[in-house]
Amino acid sequence: MSLSNKDRRKSIENAKQTSYDLIVIGGGITGCGIALDASSNGLKTLLLEKMDYASGTSSKSTKLIHGGLRYLKQLEFGLVRETGIERAVVHQLAPHLVHPEKMFLPIVEGGTFGKMSASLAISVYDFLAKVEEVDQKETMDREEAIAIEPLVKSDFLTGGILYSEYRTDDARLTIELVKKAVNLGCDTFNYIEMLEGIYGSDNKIKGVKCIDKIDGKEIIFQGKNIVSAAGPWVDGIRKKDKSFFGSKLRLTKGIHLVVSREKLNLQQSVYFDDFDGRMIFAIPRGPVSYIGTTDTPYFEDLDRVVAKKEDAEYILKAVNHYFNIDPLTLEDVSSSWAGLRPLIHQEGKSPTELSRKDEVFISPSGLISIAGGKLTGYRKMAERIVDLIYENNSEYGQRNCETDEILLGSDTFQDYEEVKYYIERLSTDISKIGLEAYRARYLISTYGKAANKILEDLKHAKEENKELALLLAELNYCIHYEGVIHPLDFLQRRTGRLYFEIESVYKYYQDIVDASANEFNASKEKVLLWRKDIEQALADSIFFKSNI
């Protein structure tokens, strides 16, 4: 089975006639993780997402699989231990998507961490996360720290620590989860929104009434257990269930800015103090570097979250204060993204003090909701939800969670060494076609071994412009295997080009729209809507400049 919308209407009609063991609302990392866990246990599962998979929080993170060093300051030892251990698990499950990354923590005068406290904290971090000895922290003096990252201003630098993290593409990880769930029997649809619950005579929820946002038709799906993993929209689902008795969430906004490596030529990832004691990441990625994040209360539109001028200026002020560079301005920022964290409300605590733990709550109707948590902990969150479903349904039999052994990808990698081998091999093929060799790393780290299918399509392309030919080959794959309906699904979430190669989006989005229209036999009205949505996304990516 493949994640395709080519026979969408037929698949929906079949799903309407199915009685599901579990319906999951929300196609982010948590919902997709639950769908995979449940499907791998043989539960007949339906996953619904009102927009595109990973279109909310799960494509707006710092794109790190990390244990959360700063949570040690909040004494969140259990959270640090669980997510720290999960880093290694997820790396093993998807080595092409979860890459080892050394993180440099500069020690500065008056900073959040002193040399002794930082060394102790990371030692505890390495212990809790069961970091292998070869990857444990490396402490360095001032001269060694300057050599590691020359851009950090040396006048207040006293030393540094190098420790291990993992980098990922959050949206791609989410897509691989839902693809694997489909392979194990899960039914799933993006662009289907829940309108209300369907209830039995006992007032228990037995299904959901939805609307297909593609054709406007209403649909009813039947399910014995309903789980809401809707992230920032969890309270909205509870309102539709008539089980909202005050918010359990506190939403905060985090933004990231993208600048050219020419403007911020980092040698490696840096986790640094800003000027008011918070911590910020600066991470090089190919020809760009990205910086984030903020953590501010959010009360505006959940469906359109943008980086505003004050958000961008806050991060740029911190970067300019910390790094020895020509001062960055708003005009130096090529793109941005902004997302919401659905944190669990705790009275009297500021956004940065709130726990990142997840919490499960059950409404009188039986609707199960889960919120909070971290990208890194998605698998354990899913495990807790499926455990609960088995506890409530003894007829389902023996519960076995095996998601720590289910490798992700259509043709999986055994380890990171195999990933590096494939990148090297593909580099030669890519060069022969006329593309730069770095595209091999991009293709493997995005699609895994499925990059071979894209490469074969590319070899037979009639398009002389090789950059465009590559885009069209990727689009073809994503439409047939990765659930793309809207060209923006492809440009923003399947490839990340809207963030990391935005100039290629400006240059080629009309071609992508035209190719998508041919695949879906789209009407002129639909094509115009697609273009408008892409142009809006482009404008939102530099929204902060409109406030100058």
Residue 347, pLDDT above cutoff 60 = no
The C-alpha atoms of residue 351 and residue 359 are separated, in whole angstroms, by 17
The C-alpha atoms of residue 139 and residue 119 are separated, in whole angstroms, by 7
For residue 129, which of 191, 58, 66 has the smallest C-alpha distance?
66
Which amino acid, one-letter code, is at 319?
Answer: V
Return the structure tokens found at 393: 């349904």
CATH of domain 101-166+250-345: 3.30.9.10
**C-alpha to C-alpha distances, 153 to 159, 268, 284, nearest whole angstrom:** 12, 15, 18
Q: Which spans in 231-292 are helix H?
A: 234-240
Domain boundaries, the chain: 8-57+171-247+355-396, 101-166+250-345, 416-547
Tell me, which fold does domain 416-547 have in CATH?
A: Helicase, Ruva Protein; domain 3 (1.10.8)
CB of 266 closer than 8 Å to CB of 151: yes
Residue 114 CA, distance from chain mean position? 32
pLDDT at residue 73 in the model = 65
Between 248 and 373, the more confident residue is 373
pLDDT at residue 206 in the model = 97
Compute the C-alpha angle 37/3/306, nearest 5°: 85
Torsion of CA 294, 297, 300, 305, to 10 degrees: 20
The C-alpha atoms of residue 152 and residue 411 are separated, in whole angstroms, by 41
CB of 27 closer than 8 Å to CB of 188: yes
Which amino acid, one-letter code, is at 123?
Answer: S
154 beta partners: none
The C-alpha atoms of residue 447 and residue 470 are separated, in whole angstroms, by 13
Global pTM reads 0.95
In tens, the pLDDT along 464-512 reads 899 999 999 999 999 999 999 999 999 999 999 999 999 999 999 999 9
Residue at token pair 């000027």: 275
The C-alpha atoms of residue 276 and residue 9 are separated, in whole angstroms, by 53
pLDDT at residue 505 in the model = 98
Task: DSSP for 56-106, please give it.
Answer: SGGGSS--EE---GGGGTTT-HHHHHHHHHHHHHHHHH-TTTSEEEEEEEE
In tens, the pLDDT along 119-176 reads 787 888 788 777 778 788 899 999 999 999 999 998 889 999 998 889 999 999 999 9
pLDDT at residue 111 in the model = 74
Query: What length is written for the chain?
Result: 548
When the pLDDT of each residue in the chain is averaged and rounded to a whole number, the result is 92
Backbone angles phi, psi at 71, to 5 degrees: -75, -15
The C-alpha atoms of residue 292 and residue 271 are separated, in whole angstroms, by 10
Backbone angles phi, psi at 399, to 5 degrees: -95, 125
Residue 5, pLDDT above cutoff 90 = no
CB of 481 closer than 8 Å to CB of 460: no
Tell me, which fold does domain 8-57+171-247+355-396 have in CATH?
A: FAD/NAD(P)-binding domain (3.50.50)
